[in-house]
Chains A and B, each alone.
Chain A
């Protein structure tokens, strides 16, 4: 395994590489087609290089453990607002997630519907492309339209366009309080309607999830609000009135319980340690119940007001075949190597779009050595 100590070292290693490289951050998110190649770990590129709480900006080397960043932010009562998912439980991996891995996977959690995804908070990147050149794009300021936005392109590119060496983020204040409205017993269709009503209200819902099978086996719909305490109380009351027609509503405000509940959603905990493949679908929220029915899944979890569906299906199932044509995309997040080699892990793109993606890969990595084939 190549373990460069710094960016220069990494650039030299990539330039000198004679075959495929398998890029690893913390190794906790083995998503995509299996890659054969020499492993390159960016763990050596670690450390927060700049943190200005008054400017809401943080810059860190790509190999910095996420935990280190979260601790530094917590000390100033701030956070990464996009709530990055921890994939370890779902994928059965160990190790420490890195900030570079978060970016490479554009890992975004339940709060994505209100505040945006990882890519929306990413202000700048430094990376080494497939030629071994050190490149930068974006910066550390919140508004920047200088040149093309390669920052977004790098987010979610799973190390196939370049190896991230440094990332800068906009961070946000952590709210003082949170409340979760819980509605029991809704069908999937009712739940998506209730979540749409909540999300279409002026009350700044920061999480809207539904499980057809909660901890006690009954369906539960969860609506989260965050902010100053009095504001949270007020909005919880308003939402309770707004959603009264959907059924009995209880409000949970205990910080430990609300945090644990949304971590359960964020990390797709219902499928931890459960046998089967796990797919992640991004869809138009109102299409969700119908698509979920077509999936004939053994387990379902809706997030993002229905816009995100987690589906558990028997090993080797081609979920896309069950779904037929649909608007959105399906990603095979958890499956054995054989299934991931056989099925497209990422949603196949229409020919003209696929041609653009291929064209970009050829420009960023002309030798095809960076996580080759990972994204199909």
Chain B
């Protein structure tokens, strides 16, 4: 993955930049020694690494503002970083950049149960937002797999989803306001404890902009009362077609499960071995979860199981108690870790229309043969968000490149059938150079014009999202 060459001018004035940042921040908030900056050399896309010029860890919106003002004056690129869990390289540094980490901004600012919101600083982790309101049986709905570690700032940057977004929506549907620092240091407030925008929907634009428009330091999030209960069922099928048809029929029947998860044979076997979940021997496994009171759950599962039986299942397993429910989820929740134990893998994130599922799985199987790399499929079937895991050997020369080429083919296939390159992980550097497969030059140009408005100097996370050739003139002009 190509990254722009670092600016020699910026590298040459490192001492001065560090000195200015050190004046604006406490001593322990500026990291610039080579052995220390290495901690920020990559995010969860670990195949790509580059230590930054420096990293800063501000503790307030005012400090973030001071850092951005200095970086703008010195012409230094800034890469905002939440918890560094991006699978797309969204927080990958360049050698001439300052990493702006929001980890120290982790306070809860306000909890309001009557109006159903929480206001937090953006470095707070996703799960600890729910942790702050759990005592009153409330929760924050978006639940990315990395929720124990990932920060709200990163969730907003990537518009993160999760297994339960079929019912509750993704980050953008649960975000009410942001406090954002612009590249020139100006602090803006967008939205509030009320719903929807009075003018243009800038909040909707900022969410998912991958840290390229500003640095979000505070956010108001919608919180919800927890449902009375939830219960999953496990359904095993002999074919992807049968599983796909079952999903479509469940949705058409008017039941809206909170999650519909899918795993194929490779993932079933690997996760079963890893977790001891006791999954059946089959080609396709669905986990369908519904919520409500006991009686409501029974009624919904009754409808779902009746549909499931109509597609000739290999196995139907209802959870009779919390332990059994946990066992059904056990394998699915450990899927990425389980596959990681047996192999290096690359996790893709394309979305397809649900109706295209059997066709896409078949094509992925064929491509797997062509490229000579195995693929496991685990995904959110209710909304068509796929996570093919391509297995490769990082120690074998050329394997990573083959894997990337294979991954690109799968993502192009997603676009071809009416889907998109990324459903919840973001573009980052990973899908950057595939953007022309989904968008015309003009479609991308209008998006880049949006960045021109917020960050005319193209200093914020500049080498992400857009193909390098597309953004070259803007980045060069800025330099």
A binds B: yes
Q: Which chain B residue lies CB-closest to A366?
A: B449
Known contacts A139-B418, A143-B423, A228-B300; A149 and B454 CB within 8 A of each other? no
Does the CB pair A141–B418 fall under 8 Å? yes
Q: Closest CB of chain B to A87's CB: distance in Å?
A: 16
Interfacial residues of chain A within 303-325, with CB under 8 A of chain B in the complex: 304, 307-308
Does the CB pair B204–A141 fall under 8 Å? no
**Chain B residues with Cβ under 8 A from A157's Cβ?**
200-201
**Chain A residues with Cβ under 8 A from B225's Cβ?**
200-202
Interface size on B, residues (CB 8 A): 93
Does the CB pair A353–B194 fall under 8 Å? no
Our pick among A55, A137, A199, A284 for the contact of B248 (Cβ within 8 Å) is A55
**Chain B residues with Cβ under 8 A from A175's Cβ?**
254
Known contacts A200-B113, A286-B114; A141 and B295 CB within 8 A of each other? no
Q: Closest CB of chain A to B464's CB: distance in Å?
A: 11
Known contacts A135-B443, A137-B443, A141-B384; A346 and B201 CB within 8 A of each other? no
Known contacts A55-B251, A55-B353; A347 and B431 CB within 8 A of each other? no
**Chain A residues with Cβ under 8 A from B296's Cβ?**
227-228, 230-231, 234
Does the CB pair B200–A116 fall under 8 Å? no
**Chain B residues with Cβ under 8 A from A172's Cβ?**
256
Cα A375 to Cα B172 with chains together (Å): 24
Does the CB pair A357–B114 fall under 8 Å? no
Q: Which chain A residue lies CB-closest to B136?
A: A200
* A246 in contact (CB, < 8 A): no
Q: Closest CB of chain B to A24's CB: distance in Å?
A: 20
Does the CB pair A331–B198 fall under 8 Å? yes
Known contacts A141-B420, A152-B205, A363-B450; A147 and B195 CB within 8 A of each other? no
Q: Closest CB of chain A to B43's CB: distance in Å?
A: 16
Does the CB pair A143–B465 fall under 8 Å? no
Cα A135 to Cα B443 with chains together (Å): 5
* B281 in contact (CB, < 8 A): no
Interface size on A, residues (CB 8 A): 84
Our pick among B173, B192, B249, B440 for the contact of A120 (Cβ within 8 Å) is B173
Cα A134 to Cα B446 with chains together (Å): 11
Cα A197 to Cα B257 with chains together (Å): 25
* A275 in contact (CB, < 8 A): no
**Chain B residues with Cβ under 8 A from A77's Cβ?**
254
Does the CB pair A119–B380 fall under 8 Å? no
* B92 in contact (CB, < 8 A): no
Choose among A143, A199, A286, A304 the residue with the greatest number of B CB atoms under 10 Å from its CB: A143
Our pick among B112, B192, B299, B447 for the contact of A147 (Cβ within 8 Å) is B447
* Residue-wise interface mask of B (413-429) relative to A, using a CB-CB cutoff of 8 A (1 in contact, 0 not): 00000111111111100
Q: Closest CB of chain A to B217's CB: distance in Å?
A: 15
Cα A188 to Cα B172 with chains together (Å): 31
Does the CB pair B161–A147 fall under 8 Å? no
Does the CB pair A54–B424 fall under 8 Å? no
* Residue-wise interface mask of B (160-177) relative to A, using a CB-CB cutoff of 8 A (1 in contact, 0 not): 010001100110110000
Our pick among A119, A283, A307, A375 for the contact of B199 (Cβ within 8 Å) is A375
Q: Closest CB of chain B to A267's CB: distance in Å?
A: 18
Does the CB pair A141–B446 fall under 8 Å? no
Known contacts A55-B355, A200-B116, A202-B226; A119 and B447 CB within 8 A of each other? no
**Chain B residues with Cβ under 8 A from A283's Cβ?**
194
* B252 in contact (CB, < 8 A): yes
* Residue-wise interface mask of A (163-205) relative to B, using a CB-CB cutoff of 8 A (1 in contact, 0 not): 0000000001111100000000000000001001001111000
* A241 in contact (CB, < 8 A): no
Does the CB pair B354–A360 fall under 8 Å? no
Does the CB pair B292–A231 fall under 8 Å? yes
Our pick among B195, B198, B252 for the contact of A346 (Cβ within 8 Å) is B198
Does the CB pair A57–B353 fall under 8 Å? yes
Cα A302 to Cα B443 with chains together (Å): 41
Does the CB pair B450–A54 fall under 8 Å? no
Does the CB pair A329–B384 fall under 8 Å? no
* Residue-wise interface mask of B (428-459) relative to A, using a CB-CB cutoff of 8 A (1 in contact, 0 not): 00010001001110111011011111100000
* A72 in contact (CB, < 8 A): no
Q: Closest CB of chain B to A310's CB: distance in Å?
A: 14
* B36 in contact (CB, < 8 A): no
Choose among A119, A142, A360 the residue with the greatest number of B CB atoms under 10 Å from its CB: A142
Q: Closest CB of chain A to B395's CB: distance in Å?
A: 32
* A352 in contact (CB, < 8 A): yes
**Chain A residues with Cβ under 8 A from B170's Cβ?**
143, 145
* A53 in contact (CB, < 8 A): yes
* A155 in contact (CB, < 8 A): yes
A-B contact pairs, 20 of them (CB 8 A): A55-B248, A116-B173, A135-B442, A145-B422, A146-B435, A147-B465, A149-B208, A152-B172, A153-B200, A156-B201, A157-B200, A161-B200, A172-B256, A175-B254, A228-B300, A231-B299, A284-B192, A284-B194, A307-B115, A356-B453
Known: A150-B450, A353-B199. 11 other contacts (CB 8 A): A55-B353, A106-B201, A112-B196, A117-B196, A137-B447, A143-B161, A145-B158, A153-B201, A173-B252, A347-B198, A360-B450
The 5 residue pairs across chains A and B that have the minimum distance between CB atoms? A152-B204, A329-B198, A54-B248, A173-B254, A143-B423
